[in-house]
Each structure stands twice: as C-alpha cells, then as structure tokens.
Amino acid sequence: MNLENLKIVDREVAAEIEKEFDRQQNNIELIASENITSKAVMEACGSVLTNKYAEGKPHKRFYNGCEHIDVIEEIAQKRACELFHMDHANVQPHSGAQANMAVFMYCLKPGDKVLGMDLSNGGHLSHGSPVNFSGLYFDVKSYGIDENGNIDYENVRQMALEHKPKLIICGASNYSKIIDFKKFKEIADEVGAYLMADIAHIAGLVAAGLHPSPAPYADFVTTTTHKSLRGPRGGIVMCKEEHAQGIDKAIFPGIQGGPLEHIIAGKAVALLEASKPEFKEYAAQIIKNAKALAQGLMDEGMDIVGGMTENHLMTLDLRRTGKTGKDMANVLEKVGITANKNTVPNDPQSPFVTSGIRLGTPAVTTRGFKEEDMVEVAKIIASAIFSSDNELGLQNLKERSLKLCKKYPIYGDK
C-alpha cells in the first residue's frame, strides 16, 4: 500500500489509513455487505478521472472534454448488460440506495403504494422504512419472513391483491434463502405492478450463475457493486429498454449531479473481473464457506435462522443464549472477528439492540479461506459467545483469529 505522497501532504489521514489497513489485515471480516476489492479496481478509483466533471450521458454531456470518459462509461454499461443479461444499464448511481431511488422517481408519484420487504425481517432501508425517503414519501406495505426464515409467497400475493401496489420490491439485505423471482413476477402481473429486484447482496452469485437471475422477470434490477460483486462502493440500475430513457432522466437530473467517473471506471474493471471463470470459482467458494460456517455454528450448539443458508450469509439467533446482538458483536470484535448486530424474526429486542448477528463470507473468501477455516471460525465465534465474560479466554480466541489472518494476508502483504 503506497501512501508516499499522502504521508508528505497529510500525515494524520495517512496514519489513519495505515491503521485501517492493519485492522482489515488482522481481523476476520464477516460483515456480509463488505468485501476486499482488487488492486486494479483501486487503481482505477484513484485515477485522474476524479478530476473530470461529466454531467449527463455519454455523448450528451454538459461539459466538454468527456471523450475518454464517454468510452469508459460505455464500457461499464456494456459489461453490466452482458453480465446480468439486461437491456439497459445506468452505472452512475453513487450507491444502491440511489439506484433504488431512481426507480421510485421514474415509476411512482408521492403517495403511491409500494410492497417491499420489512427492514427488521431482512429488507433494506430503501425498501420502505419509515425513516427513509421510500417510507416517507410513499405508501409502503411490508411483507416479512416466517419463523423458518422463508418468504411466504402466498402471503405476499394476498397483500398485493389487498393493497394493489404500483411497485413490488424483491431482494434483501439479510435473507439466506434463494429468491423466487418468477413467483414475484407472477404476483406483480396479477395486480399490474412494476417489479424491482434489488440484488445488491447476491449480485456476484447471480453474475456467476449460482443464484437464479431476475433478468427474465424484473422491470428493474438494482445492485451495489461492492458486496459479493467485489467492486468499488457504488450502484447500478438496469432495466428493460422501454424504461431506459426514463431511468436515465431519473438519475440525472432527477436525483444526482455529476457522476463519479473514477468510481465508474472501477465498476467497469470489477464487471470485467466478474465475467472471468476464476470469479465463478470464487463465488462457488463463497457459498461453500457460508454453508461450512453455518453448519459449524450449529455443531457448536448455536442457532441459525432458517437452520441453513443457500447463499453468502446467515443470521445467528442468540435468543436461546440470553445474549443480545449488540453485546455479542462487540465481544466478537474483541476476538478479532468483525460482524454486525441484526434482528431475527419476531425479535423481542429493539433494532438498536437485536437478538441476532449477521455473518457473511465474501470477504474471507477473497482472502482465501476454505471450508476447514470456516469450521475454525465457527468454533471461535461459539466459544466467544458462550464465554463472553472470560477475558483470558477471549484473548486466546483472538490469537486463533490472528493466526488465520496471517495465513491469508490481504493482497499477499504479510
């Protein structure tokens, strides 16, 4: 990690970046929405493209000097369409939430009805939370999951028939099962609703052909690029050709000004990487590692929502232990494991405390972890939770975590 110039100009910021690199290097990253991007992606994001203003679309800019910018953005658009089998892609959204906002702005008016997944059951903030734009300006009805961690599609259908939403959202930020996009499409067609699939978490698995694609069914497909897709932090919104012009206008001038062309270049690189055979192998290992972690935790006496995982993540249900997600996420941090508190179905705790912890395997898989390593991680997690008051024991567990980290250094840096 070369910070030569930064150290000369700003030693304070350089020092904190170095500390953050050390934190990532010496901790097991199990936050399901995080990953470790390639050096090539980082080089694109740190390039001279950050100097250029490029409001508008390729070849229809409001500033001169965009001829090279246009080519790069078109490369990213083409790669997104090819990878996800969609007609049109806008790669300018600064985040997944803004990709979702563009869909709302295009096809809805304030007060229109939306059917989305409840945040506390695994949905996303931008799927209708009352504290988010999606819940503040639209009439949102929320579906959830059952005690087994499954979406009840018949319940979704009944809610759609009752409320007649104009937009139905499928996709989640914490759902460990396969999403049946075809069933969602049938429900949407039955009530005459648009269908938006938010695949932010599973984009890498979809790209690798390891999760069913929403492309044949959804009017709009939104995603982030920094989770299982392993790109820079940002978003993409894709759609059928009939919606292309409207979506582009919703992005600019609707919700954003100048696009971050250096990040778009990073997206282009990540999309190329995701098209390679080795990425498919990587994505397959993500799932293998997730299954090994889930099984390892259950073998240690822990509860997993739904009793399994079919993708890259799972939720550890702590209710039987009497511990809270907030407290145990902090305990795990003490032993060198980074995770986040998360609600479980019918959680008796508040969303700020929770009875669960969300765990995901994209980042550790990037580092090189295999199934046997995930079994060791499961043992560390269970031991930490069951002996959370034993400071000496926690220190020993931290040493075990650090041993795994040294075995799989980030970017090969030891």
Q: Is 321 a catalytic residue?
A: no
Burial (CB < 10 A; 0-12, 13-18, 19+), residue 335, is buried
Q: Is 22 a catalytic residue?
A: no
Distance CA 386, CA 4 (A): 45
Q: Which residues pair with 88 in a beta bridge?
A: 239
> Residues 233, 267, 358, 367: which is the catalytic one?
233
- Return the structure tokens found at 83: 């990878």
- Return the structure tokens found at 322: 């009497």
Q: What are the residues whose beta carbons fall under 8 Å from the beta carbon of 43, sequence distance 6 or more? A: none
Q: Is 233 a catalytic residue?
A: yes
Q: What are the residues whose beta carbons fall under 8 Å from the beta carbon of 95, sequence distance 6 or more? A: 224, 233, 234, 235
Q: Which residues pair with 239 in a beta bridge?
A: 88, 220
- Return the structure tokens found at 339: 């995770």
> Residues 29, 73, 198, 347: which is the catalytic one?
198
Yes or no: say if 397 and 384 are a contact pair by the CB < 8 Å rule: yes
Nearest to 174 by CA among 411, 10, 356: 356
Yes or no: say if 68 and 54 are a contact pair by the CB < 8 Å rule: no
Q: Is 55 a catalytic residue?
A: yes
Extended beta strands in 264-399, E state: 303-304, 313-317, 337-338, 340-342, 356-360
DSSP state letter for 27: S
> Residues 79, 166, 177, 227: which is the catalytic one?
227
Q: Which residue has the tokens 């039987």?
A: 320
> Residues 18, 34, 55, 300: which is the catalytic one?
55
Q: Is 224 a catalytic residue?
A: yes
> Residues 222, 224, 309, 354: which is the catalytic one?
224
> Residues 7, 18, 53, 333: which is the catalytic one?
53
**Cα 260-263-265 angle, rounded to 5 deg:** 110
Task: Kindly list the catalytic residues.
Answer: 53, 55, 198, 224, 227, 233
